[in-house]
A = this chain, B = another copy of it.
Amino acid sequence: MDQIGRKRWAIAEGYIPGESHGPAPDMTSHEACCILNPSNRAAHVEITIFFEDRDPTGPFRFEVAARRTKHLRFNNFDDPQKIPRDTPYSSLIESDVPIVVQHTRLDSRQAENALLSTIAFPGD
């Protein structure tokens, strides 16, 4: 199969709401980075997080096996550190094989949840 995807992606929006309504973990306010690796080789993925007022942190390292997807919750990142809540950030996703990246947030700060999603920005 021909490859589809890119090795570098960026998500300019990032914000993990500190509040939630509804049963955890499904309805917990969260932000996700969904990665598809359609290739026949495992993808070694490094994510760097950028902030407004301090140096970037990372890389956060993940492996996505060949022909698998991984829906990563930024909420759960903890190595090298946790991502603070209620804080604007951006992310840069780099992989050694072409992948496809989509950004999604579920915001349940109020009683009913809201959703957003977009394909991330692909590097050249």
List residues of A whose CB falls within 8 A of some B CB: 2, 4-5, 8, 10-15, 22, 26-27, 32, 34-36, 38, 50-53, 55-56, 67-71, 86, 88-90, 92, 99-124
Minimum Cβ distance to chain B for residue A44 (Å): 17
- In the complex, A91 Cα to B92 Cα: how many Å? 22
Minimum Cβ distance to chain B for residue A66 (Å): 10
A contact face: mostly helix, strand, loop, or mixed: strand
- A-B pairs, top 8 by smallest CB distance, nearest first, are A12-B102, A36-B90, A116-B117, A69-B90, A112-B112, A71-B88, A114-B115, A4-B123
- A21 closest partner in B (C-beta): B110
Minimum Cβ distance to chain B for residue A116 (Å): 4
Given known A-B contacts A105-B115, A114-B115, A67 and B50 have beta carbons under 8 A apart = yes
Asked if B114 and A12 sit within 8 Å, CB to CB, the answer is no
Asked if A8 and B2 sit within 8 Å, CB to CB, the answer is yes
